Structure 1
């Protein structure tokens, strides 16, 4: 990673005061003694376009700190009681859906990244440059990153979007300024998603059609994120529109026949399906030595489905572990960026929900023919809307494992009695369950945010 980004990282020491301002300036994870601190603005504020690009190009702070708690709580894997007992308090509680408010990085890291983008956006208007295109890309990138992190937080700390209650349901704190005097206040769900969508729609107008590097935002990335957000809102018309917009600019799929079935790391970082590269830290609960793939899920892959050997490896006890991460790393870090396979699946699902069977079949078959052994895939032809949708949703789960997408899917599908699901865990005979609509589908806000800033805590 260091080698890849050596030409793009900025001088951390030079900007350490910027990050000190960012970390200490956010009231919900700073101590009271810092709230009145007023660093020298000439030291703390970036002053050139190079400075702003430097902040946004720092991969480990901008791209690599998305929350992973939702995946720890999801249903694509299980832990043995012994492995569960070795985990820290937070993941142990996430795994069995218990109330827990010492959240730490899953709450604070995205907000600190958001604050970096606000520093960039607030400074941009004060910086003079004749290169308007460069300035636009900086602005568009900051808006995209801010929206992506707000969205990630909303999947954990707010209810699933419901248009009937979105104006009264409690959302998250939306931070649109680096001004530490602005007290954090929770928005409604409607306001939360309106802000996310606004940032993304503004970014589309500013970003390039193709990025210089895949860890930088682009138009297809912004279109793809819009498709993801609208899908989570069950707005299938707009999700379809933006998935199509993204795929019109970039639509490469990997033919899995060209991928090694025995490789420890089968996919490279920045592979052909990646449009925008981002990831989480590596949660211990999801390490290959602990997380076992759900047996029913694994059995759903047929013998000619290359995903069965490329995405998984067999453990000595007969269980299976996941190895098909698009991060290009041999650890539990999760790919959270935008990739074309997700967009093909959004196109397929939204097409059938919008009563366009032909497009739905074209999209799902275009994806699946790349996943099966050469010459063995029989295109899906069932035009019954109910059965086709069920097939597409199953393939979505099978192709997008360990990307923090499953939790959002569970939350939105629980709103439909035909697709709602009760989850269960078994630890030495003790059964834990998570029923559709449970309050435990919303994580508690970090206790420091509540104690210091007085935020309303989730139930």
Structure 2
């Protein structure tokens, strides 16, 4: 049993509440703290700031981002290293905020799963509600982790390559031996099914709380990344049967009319990029892909002069319109229509694929302009679905996960090159550049991470 050195460093602050006694009452027991009442666990589960942060370093590496030459000298070494697909992202003095925030959410979830059902002064229904939610948070965090620090899931392989540690108990002493890609995905699916088995609530008060439709949506995303298109489609359809509202951009006076995240009817389950990744410059190719009548250009992007450091060009705009938004990487109604469209196309149901794209596009184009797409072949419908996905899910880093999975198909494999500070960097299909390195600091403290 190895000492979880980095866990102490990351998670000990969780227990150092100064003015939160009304929300989380703790009693010291040895090295740990034990939450006592069901209301304590609800307070922990509602700690949105801590449990919603979902990394985002991959955003800087994806093909949606393009640094202007004058911008290159203004960014941190972390941004520069990620943008150029370096083998080492962090200096010895730096921590990996993505890793830390996601494992912190996992630790919170494990504390809840381990203790809420035996907590005091709560009904069985209250306990099970919190218990079920924790499985969803943990599943989401592991889906982010395995797709950042692990190789791409390949439906034709055993997926036996090492990915990230599976920590399923709230222990401060544990091995950090990495589990395989297959094992992590098995755990994600198991957690989501456990949430359903424990009657996860249908209609939480806020979209920051997990729900049954959030579980179906996360299963749809997970199966898409696994290449299990029928299962992905089945779960996307279940999600849309429960929530299918789309914002009609034609009804907004400007981007500042866009609803804040917690009130956004499109958001099924809110999770946010770390704020440090806000404002990355968007690529010229992506910006040029928007048609003149597509309202998303003005609603989803904003001039680079709105960010610091500023730049010529445009960045993702939603978070700039309201500080209460954040950049949502949780599951949403638009994503479910896009997943449905892609899966229908892959399964040879061309018209249904196009129908789903047109449902979305009807809410994205200027009044009286043509938005309808058509396709006569499976391949054409799939290309349209993937193109629409890039525009709708702009600025969130989804492009990185799509690049990874599309690399498995020779029809979509692509070699990317970019110049950073006069040096040309190349990202080959399925190269190690698609797997973010675990911080060397953590490997030095816990050598099993490097094995």
2:416 counterpart (398, 414, 423) = 423
Offset from partner CA, 1:245-298 (integer Å, 9 cap, x none)? 11111110111101233x3573422211011111022225x42xxx33211211
TM-score, structure 2 as length reference: 0.88
- Describe the SS at the equivalent of 1:198: helix
Offset from partner CA, 1:397-427 (integer Å, 9 cap, x none)? 0000122311110000011111122222223
| Bigger helix fraction | 2
Match of residue 184 from structure 1: 176
1:455: how far off? 2.4
| 1:322 and 2:310 are equivalent in the alignment | no
Match of residue 6 from structure 2: 28
- Describe the SS at the equivalent of 1:276: coil
| 1:79 and 2:61 are equivalent in the alignment | no
Q: Does the 8 Å CA contact 1:129/1:135 hold for their aligned counterparts?
A: no
Q: Does the 8 Å CA contact 1:267/1:324 hold for their aligned counterparts?
A: no
* Aligned 1:356-367 pairs, distance under 5 A: 356-367=349-360
Q: Does the 8 Å CA contact 2:7/2:172 hold for their aligned counterparts?
A: no
Match of residue 378 from structure 2: 385
| 1:45 and 2:34 are equivalent in the alignment | yes
Q: Does the 8 Å CA contact 2:225/2:405 hold for their aligned counterparts?
A: yes
Q: 1:326 to 1:237 in 2, by over 3 A?
A: farther
Match of residue 123 from structure 1: 115
Match of residue 145 from structure 2: 153
Match of residue 69 from structure 1: 57
Q: Does the 8 Å CA contact 2:365/2:371 hold for their aligned counterparts?
A: no
Match of residue 450 from structure 2: 457
Match of residue 171 from structure 1: 163
Please, what is the CA RMSD of the aligned residues? 2.5
1:434: how far off? 0.9
Count residues in correspondence. 423
1:174: how far off? 0.8
Query: Partners in 2 of 1:309 and 1:327 — Cα distance?
Result: 11
Question: 130-139 or 53-62, which moves further after superposition?
Answer: 130-139
Query: Partners in 1 of 2:196 and 2:121 — Cα distance?
Result: 21
Match of residue 211 from structure 1: 204
2:232 counterpart (224, 227, 239) = 239
Q: Does the 8 Å CA contact 1:29/1:452 hold for their aligned counterparts?
A: no
| 1:134 and 2:126 are equivalent in the alignment | yes
Q: Does the 8 Å CA contact 1:107/1:153 hold for their aligned counterparts?
A: yes
Query: Partners in 2 of 1:383 and 1:133 — Cα distance?
Result: 51
Match of residue 11 from structure 1: none
Offset from partner CA, 1:103-145 (integer Å, 9 cap, x none)? 5211111111111111111112322566222222101110000
Question: 367-376 or 322-331, which moves further after superposition?
Answer: 322-331
Match of residue 192 from structure 2: 200
Q: Does the 8 Å CA contact 1:227/1:243 hold for their aligned counterparts?
A: yes
Runs of 4+ in 1 over 6 A off after TM superposition: none
Query: Partners in 2 of 1:224 and 1:75 — Cα distance?
Result: 25
Q: Does the 8 Å CA contact 2:303/2:315 hold for their aligned counterparts?
A: yes
Match of residue 443 from structure 1: 436
Match of residue 56 from structure 1: 45
